[in-house]
Structures are given as structure tokens and as C-alpha cells.
Amino acid sequence: MDNFWVNALWSLAPTVLVGLIFWLIMRSIIHADRNERRVYTQIETEERARLGLDKPVA
């Protein structure tokens, strides 16, 4: 019976590891995008204030 559980663990390990790596990559991409959008919005707000444009153009 011990051999069964070891085989089951070794069978699931690659799938779990690939899933974990995929999750980490997607998480870092989403966080990078969120941070980039926040910085872009901040820069745009500063430029609008510097140029005297109070209302964003729709």
C-alpha cells in the first residue's frame, strides 16, 4: 500500500508544479500591468496639472 501512495504523489507532482509555475507567472504579469497603469496615471495627472488641464478629455 505504501508504494501506491508514493506512485500517486509522483504522478501528481509534475501537474501541480506546472500549475504553480503558471500561477506565479500570471500573477507577476498582472501585478506588473497594475503597477504600470498606476504609474502611467500618476504621470498623466502630473502632466495635466502642469499644463493646466483640469478635466480629462473624453
Does residue 1 have a pLDDT over 70?
A: no
Q: How many structural domains comprise the chain?
A: 1
Three cell numbers, residue 41 = 496615471
Evaluate whether residue 41 is within a structural domain: yes
pLDDT, tens digit, 9 for 90 and up, residues 13-53: 999 999 999 999 999 999 999 999 999 999 999 999 999 88
Residue ranges making up the domain that contains 34: 1-50
**pTM > 0.75: yes or no:** no
Evaluate whether residue 14 is within a structural domain: yes
CA-CA distance, 4 to 25, in Å (whole number)?
32
